[in-house]
Structure 1
């Protein structure tokens, strides 16, 4: 199996909404974004699949060394081998790759966030940076496009947090800010015990409105001259916003189930967004 085939398999197996947006890219850019996505999956899986924090830290340390080896033109892993040719082509910053790993390690160091400002720092590492790298692969002529991509990454991460409240809690993490739980009279015990309530719905409506505002702020930052190049990001946004609306329509019943869109709906949204340009 070639490095590119390994990354393709990793991306396809994930079933992620992102995968559908990659389908409309030219071949070279599709290989690059698939390799980047596979890298993100690899380091994310280190934390999600490990039951021992020391083992997870050791593996993340290995990935840091592997990124440095890739930057020195000596990669050993299929993902970094697949990424290497694209680093210079799309001006990808190795420091951003390391920042993603730092974000994964934050999950080993911290399971709660006092307020949204603190949560945003985490989101920058695990999503904002990914947005910037992705936008570089898609094509940038105006530097402001990086701001669009960073903000869009934050919107995606907030959508993930809303969708995965129950699942994350079962892993020992509550990303909803502590001060906002207090504001809406929802306790950590309520979430841990999957107690759905009117207060919880109000809290989640607040998170929903914030996420929608982040999408609008991101779109306002996208320069017209880069809109066509960034269609893949817009496809991702169409799918994620549709998911966000679906979660709201379902009454935010996210404590004991994972709400998702069907593959055919994701594909339809991707096609519709691509055609619209």
Structure 2
């Protein structure tokens, strides 16, 4: 059994929702899931740790070189070593991590997604990939059965993440709502960043509806996924709370989602596991 204590400590400190979801996983799988989640935390926050894109790209390249090297340990980075152990133990495809890290380069720049198709491609290589990798911890061959669920859940949870992070991304001039969706909602990237509250709210509601559509799709497919493997998609099941908050108060999404109790989240996880 992989313990991954350093990874679990990071997840526990940085992501309470994932920490709660780990309680629904078999004890012998929690370490592996923690390592994957810690890797996601480490790489997704690179933008916040650098002042320019280049140092961020160098950091992501370090992860790419390490994983592609085939090493099993010895990186000098406890979280990286725990991830390498998980990759080796469960024979996880290193190419999936390569694609994930390539997609994360987008985070370092302020370029918007031109279309929803581009957004879905990004979500597919990041959040959907992570769900698939987590599913492989339960069964590498059986993970094929979660493919469509992972695809839609990755998009819906990415939308929810973008909505919750709006105060931070807008403050640094970054627009993560796809441009074609903004245009359809009658909003420009400049209006989204400025004080045009009415135009921004319309765009937020349209983006929310787009995310909810993907959320509904993956839930309709959940019965085809073996119950133990559903642990891999649990964190995505909370996206609905974000969509509810966005519809009620588009400019207070982050604070409203923070008000949701662990009990309500546990109930949502339990229902997802039950299907």
Aligned to 1:253: 251
Residues 3 and 30 in structure 2, CA contact (< 8 A), matched pair in contact too: no
Aligned to 2:67: 67
Aligned to 1:92: 92
Aligned to 2:184: 183
Aligned-residue offset at 1:96: 1.1
Aligned-residue offset at 1:209: 1.8
Worse-superposed segment, 241-250 or 32-41: 241-250
Change (3 A) 1:124 1:194: farther
Aligned-residue offset at 1:116: 0.7
Change (3 A) 1:194 1:29: farther
Residues 47 and 107 in structure 2, CA contact (< 8 A), matched pair in contact too: yes
Aligned-residue offset at 1:35: 0.3
Structure 2's unaligned 5+ residue stretches are: none
Change (3 A) 1:45 1:256: closer
- In structure 2, what is the Cα distance between the partners aligned to 1:274 and 1:238? 7
Aligned to 1:127: 127
Aligned-residue offset at 1:194: 4.3
Structure 2-normalised TM-score? 0.86
Residues 149 and 221 in structure 2, CA contact (< 8 A), matched pair in contact too: yes
Residues 235 and 273 in structure 1, CA contact (< 8 A), matched pair in contact too: no
Q: Deviations over 1:24-79 (max 9, x none)?
A: 2112211001000111111122222211222112111211122124x232441212
- In structure 2, what is the Cα distance between the partners aligned to 1:275 and 1:108? 35
Change (3 A) 1:194 1:177: same
Aligned-residue offset at 1:266: 5.0
Change (3 A) 1:81 1:161: same
Aligned-residue offset at 1:113: 1.4
SS in 1 for 2:258: coil
Aligned-residue offset at 1:165: 2.4
- In structure 2, what is the Cα distance between the partners aligned to 1:254 and 1:221? 31
Residues 169 and 192 in structure 1, CA contact (< 8 A), matched pair in contact too: yes
Worse-superposed segment, 139-148 or 10-19: 139-148
Aligned-residue offset at 1:12: 1.0
Count of residues paired in the alignment: 272
Worse-superposed segment, 21-30 or 131-140: 131-140
- In structure 2, what is the Cα distance between the partners aligned to 1:72 and 1:45? 24
Aligned-residue offset at 1:254: 4.6
- In structure 2, what is the Cα distance between the partners aligned to 1:261 and 1:31? 28
Aligned to 2:173: 172
- In structure 2, what is the Cα distance between the partners aligned to 1:270 and 1:18? 13
Residues 204 and 246 in structure 2, CA contact (< 8 A), matched pair in contact too: no
Residue 202 of structure 2 corresponds to residue 215 of structure 1: no
The equivalences for 1:3-152 within 5 A come to 4-69=4-69, 71-76=70-75, 77-109=77-109, 111-139=111-139, 141=142, 143-152=144-153
Residue among 262, 265, 274 paired with 1:264:
262
Aligned to 1:235: 234
Aligned to 1:153: 154
Residues 20 and 266 in structure 2, CA contact (< 8 A), matched pair in contact too: no
Residues 43 and 104 in structure 1, CA contact (< 8 A), matched pair in contact too: yes
Structure 1-normalised TM-score? 0.86
SS in 2 for 1:230: helix
Residues 245 and 256 in structure 2, CA contact (< 8 A), matched pair in contact too: no
